[in-house]
Amino acid sequence: MIFCNLASGSKGNCSYISSNDTSILVDVGINCKAVEQRAAIVGIDISRVDAIIITHEHIDHMQGVCALSSKYNIPVYIHPSSYYSFVGKVGTEICNLKANSFDRPFDIGSLNINAFRVSHDAAYTQGFTISDGEKSIVMATDLGYLNDNVYKRMQNADYIYIESNYDQSMLFNGKYPKYLQYRIDGKNGHLSNVETSNAIARLYLENGRKRFMLAHLSQNNNTPDVALQTLFSTLGQHNIDVKDIEIAIADQANPSEIITI
Ligand SMILES: [Zn+2]
Ligand SMILES: [Zn+2]
């Protein structure tokens, strides 16, 4: 199974996962042309994508979904609550959306999709465990906190794509209005660098999880350096050798490397 993040952050999110015979996108929050350009950079053929699955209806996860799904005739699986919220905002049912309850795992070709609900301020927000039967990835961005269910998913995953959204002091000393600061920091907002770093340390110590991509970094309240410094200092506090853990950082403007899971 391979994984590639094409975009990550508040200006748009899109990831690609492929097994031998099946390819999917998770979210299309950048425009169709940007998806095509970034896919071309890493050698991904978008015309062969079998399905798109949606975490939630926020615009940074769905901006390009109608154009892309219409152009390539790709079905889009979306939770009914997200569906109605999105259609309500956009005004009309304009693309290939298929409301899907995600209440039990299902297959798209040889990939198994197992959704789990997370705490976030959309109509409905979910993360995914995606498996090809041998290996699995857990994808969890846009969540206010890591509950036990999400954490258990990560304990068993071969690769973990996890949000590291903000640095708390940058957030609270920054320009955002107070209500927005509290929204981001709250239980229905996003994960901070500290929360994510603590989870990574625990997942390594208790479960031997070693492969992570930090995702959805805020452009205003975080930087890759700050996120990494926080992580490295947390690992240091637990006497974990940084070299034992594989860390990538998903970028807003560029595709990641193709990662073999
Ligand atoms: Zn988002
Ligand atoms: Zn969101």
Q: What proportion of the chain, given as a percentage, has pLDDT over 70?
A: 98
Tokens 């999917």 correspond to: 24
* Average pLDDT value over all residues in the chain: 96
Residue 211: enclosing H or E segment and its boundaries?
strand 211-215
Task: Dump pLDDT digits (tens) for 32-46.
Answer: 999 999 999 999 999
Question: For residues 250 and 216, is the Cβ–Cβ distance under 8 A?
Answer: yes
- How far is it, in rounded angstroms, from Cα 215 to Cα 97? 25
Alpha helix positions (H), 91-223: 148-155, 168-172, 178-185, 193-207
Q: Which ligand is nearest to the CA of 12?
A: 1
* pLDDT over threshold 70, residue 193: yes
Find the mean pLDDT for residues 195-207. Answer: 98
Residue 38 φ then ψ, to 5°: -70, -40
Confirm if 213 and 160 have CB atoms less than 8 A apart: yes
Instruction: Find the mean pLDDT for residues 76-88.
Output: 92
CA 143 to ligand 1 center in whole angstroms: 9
Place of tokens 């409905």: 124
Measure 58 CA to ligand 1 centroid, in angstroms. 6
Domain ranges (residues) in the chain: 2-260
82: CA distance to ligand 2 center in Å?
Answer: 11
Q: What is the DSSP letter of 260?
A: E
Neighbours of ion ligand 1 (CB under 5 A): 60, 142
- How far is 132 from 136, CA to CA, in rounded Å? 7
Q: Which ligand is nearest to the CA of 216?
A: 1
> What digits encode the pLDDT tens for the residues 133-176?
999 999 999 999 999 999 999 999 999 999 999 999 999 999 99
Q: Which fold has domain 2-260?
A: Metallo-beta-lactamase; Chain A (3.60.15)
Cα separation of 23 and 21, whole Å?
7
The Cα–Cα gap between 150 and 147 comes to 6
- Please check the confidence at residue 92 and state whether its pLDDT lies above 80: no
Confidence of residue 219 (pLDDT cuts 50, 70, 90): very high
Q: Which region among 43-47, 87-91, 194-198 has the lowest average model confidence (pLDDT)?
A: 87-91
Q: What pLDDT, on the 0 to 100 scale, is given for residue 91?
A: 64
Q: Are 20 and 151 in contact (CB under 8 A)?
A: no
Alpha-carbon distance of 22 to 132, in angstroms, equals: 9
- Residue 117 tokens read as 């609900």
Residue pointed to by tokens 């939630």: 56
Residue 26: what pLDDT? 98
93 pLDDT above the threshold of 80: no
Distance 80 CA to ligand 1 centre (A): 18
Measured CA to CA, the distance from residue 258 to residue 159 in angstroms comes to 13
Distance (Å, rounded) from C-alpha 129 to C-alpha 108?
13
Instruction: Give the distance (Å) from ligand 2 centre to CA of residue 131.
Output: 24
Q: Does position 94 have pLDDT exceeding 70, yes or no? A: no
User: What ranges in the chain are assigned the alpha helix state H?
Assistant: 32-42, 59-62, 65-72, 80-90, 148-155, 168-172, 178-185, 193-207, 224-237
pTM: 0.97
d(CA 126, CA 16): 17
CA distance linking residue 135 with residue 33, whole number of Å: 31
Given this model, what pLDDT does residue 97 score? 85
Quick one: 67 exposed, middle or buried, by C-beta within 10 A (0-12, 13-18, 19+)?
middle
Q: What is the pLDDT of residue 183?
A: 96
Ligand nearest to the CA of 124: 2
- Statement: residue 228 has pLDDT above 70: yes
Distance (Å, rounded) from C-alpha 37 to C-alpha 214? 23
**Whole-number pLDDT of residue 99:** 84
Per-residue pLDDT at 60 exceeds 90 = yes
Centre of ligand 2 from the C-alpha of residue 8, in Å: 12
Cα torsion angle, 249, 255, 257, 261, sign: positive
Structure confidence at residue 90 (pLDDT): 74
The two three-digit tokens of residue 160, written as one number = 């973990």
